Amino acid sequence: KNEVEQSPQNLTAQEGEFITINCSYSVGISALHWLQQHPGGGIVSLFMLSSGKKKHGRLIATINIQEKHSSLHITASHPRDSAVYICAAGPQETSGSRLTFGEGTQLTVNP
Amino acid sequence: NAGVTQTPKFQVLKTGQSMTLQCAQDMNHEYMSWYRQDPGMGLRLIHYSVGAGITDQGEVPNGYNVSRSTTEDFPLRLLSAAPSQTSVYFCASSYSGLVSDTQYFGPGTRLTVL
């Protein structure tokens, strides 16, 4: 079973700071997802990575397959970025999506 | 499109009661799943379905039952509620069930079992 660990568990930043959230996993994967859970509870997908780097607005996600590690970066953070960020690792493709989820990183951005 | 909808949003049950959590999606997705989210733990898969008429167990299936009679609907039944089933439940869907597919989540159901 894949073990997915996120760090830090909690992160407080000032508006405008550059933020990094880390995710490591124990076995080889074919896909790594980053999700955002809003304070109201809803979960939305941010990125799916299988290699390299993706960027969407102020969010950048990277993955290093050899080191079994992914990072989510937020540039010029804003209070509206306050949320729980969750990474999820998917094994080599099998029937039925069996993602393993990290516990999440609670991010608070203060004005 | 409404995406993935769940009802109810909140529910309080007494130990031993049964209930059904409803989940529906209007994106014609083949794959649907149920997760529970507990403090200090990642989302855990309860049951999933790769298409109408096909269901399978996830990581924590005990005490739950599912069926998939249509592509759109995937209800989760609690057979005899226990306090250990107090949790937030999320339904999710994706196009085909590949681990690389984007997952779409419902708004969640907060269940308390007394």
Considering only CB atoms, B99 lies closest to which of A86, A90, A103, namely A90
| 8 A C-beta contact, residue B47 and residue B62 | no
List the 51-80 stretch of A: residues with Cβ below 8 A of B: none
Q: What is the DSSP string of B9-74?
A: SEEEE-TT--EEEEEEESS--SEEEEEEE-TTS--EEEEEEEETTEEEE-SS-TTEEE--SSSSB-
pLDDT of residue A93: 67
pLDDT at A97 over 60: no
Residue B95's region, left for phi above 0, alpha for psi from -120 to 50, else beta, is alpha
Q: What mean pLDDT is reported for chain A?
A: 93
State percent of chain B over pLDDT 70. 100
Chain A residues within an 8 Å CB radius of B33? 97
Q: How confident is the model at residue B53 (pLDDT cuts 50, 70, 90)?
A: very high
The total number of residues shown for chain A amounts to 111
Burial of B18 (0-12, 13-18, 19+ CB in 10 A): exposed
pLDDT digits (tens, 9 = 90+) for A39-89: 888 999 999 999 999 999 999 999 999 999 999 999 999 999 999 999 999
pLDDT of residue A39: 85
pLDDT at B12 over 90: yes
Chain B residues within an 8 Å CB radius of A91? 99
pLDDT at B73 over 70: yes
